[in-house]
Amino acid sequence: MHINPTLLLTLAATATAAPQFTWPWGGGGSSGGSGSTTNTANDITNKAPCKALTVIFARGTNERGNIGSVIGPPLRSALQARLGADKVNYQGVPYAASAAGNANGGGNGGSLMVSLAQQALQQCPSTKVILSGYSQGGSVVHKAGTLLTASTPIAAAVLFGDPANGSPVANVRNLKQYCNSGDRVCEAPKSFATTAAHAAYGRNGNAEDAAAYISGVTGVV
């Protein structure tokens, strides 16, 4: 997949120059909160018991922890509510998620995501792996797709507020993308401004719909 570098540079400049956006649920701001049970998930790296489903999530720019707060935690909660906590492992991608990272598709986030997927399948060969990301995290998923091989099968990808909305994820057949009306990061014409619509994915039914999609495409019920 090719993403116009001019658009990515515009996104980086906008994220740096625009007024600070107040994220709901305590997200955004400087990175941190690595010990937070709300904004952090480490089931793969902590070698949690094997479960039917493993979700690897990349947070958006400047979100805290490794799964952020806009849609990372709501998606985890929706999956656990639908399938049961005993069927879902959840892992955040520990990449920088900085404003500058928008210009190069999330920096090393793609390679880190692939490494986590490989680790998940090595530890639990029968688990179904889902790649997911929000905002810059969507770029991370796209980059991860280009690095995947047949030895790392991915069941599906689910993206929210993806700057490359409408583009496929390489080497991933099943793809679900969410783009809120008025979200200028993913909706044309793109200005990459951080509007309220860009922060609404966790409270407009998207998490529950995504959980239903993941259940359906993987057969995990």
pLDDT in tens, the chain (221 residues): 444 544 444 444 443 333 233 333 233 332 333 333 489 999 999 999 999 999 999 999 999 999 999 999 999 999 999 999 999 999 999 999 999 888 888 999 999 999 999 999 999 999 999 999 999 999 999 999 999 999 999 999 999 999 999 999 999 999 999 999 999 999 998 888 889 999 999 999 999 999 999 999 999 99
* Residue 215 bears catalytic tag: no
Instruction: Please tell me which residue in 98, 142, 162, 198 is annotated as part of the active site.
Output: 198
31 is catalytic: no
Q: For residue 38, what pLDDT is reported?
A: 86
Q: Hey, which bits of the chain come out as E strands?
A: 53-58, 88-92, 128-134, 156-160, 175-178
In angstroms, the CA 28 to CA 34 distance is: 13
One of 43, 69, 162, 183 is an active-site residue; which one?
A: 183
**pTM of the full structure:** 0.85
How many other C-beta atoms are found inside a 10 Å radius of the C-beta of residue 175?
A: 18
Reply yes or no on domain 5-21+64-218 having CATH 3.40.50.1820.
Answer: yes
User: What residue segments make up the domains of the chain, in order of their start?
Assistant: 5-21+64-218
Distances in Å between the Cα of 32 and the Cα atoms of 48, 137, 163 are 23, 17, 24
The one catalytic residue in 31, 135, 139, 142 is: 135
Q: Which pLDDT does position 190 carry in this prediction?
A: 86
Rounded-to-integer distance, Cα 185 and Cα 31, Å? 21
3-state class of 42 per DSSP? strand
Supply the pLDDT for residue 194: 83
Q: What single-letter DSSP state applies at residue 158?
A: E
Q: Are residues 220 and 91 in contact, defined by beta-carbon separation less than 8 angstroms?
A: no
pLDDT of residue 193: 83
Q: Are 15 and 102 in contact (CB under 8 A)?
A: yes
Could you give phi then psi for residue 102, rounded to 5 degrees?
A: -60, -30
98 is an active site residue:
no
**Distance from CA of residue 191 to its chain's centroid?**
21
- pLDDT, residue 192, reads 83
Q: What is the pLDDT of residue 104?
A: 87
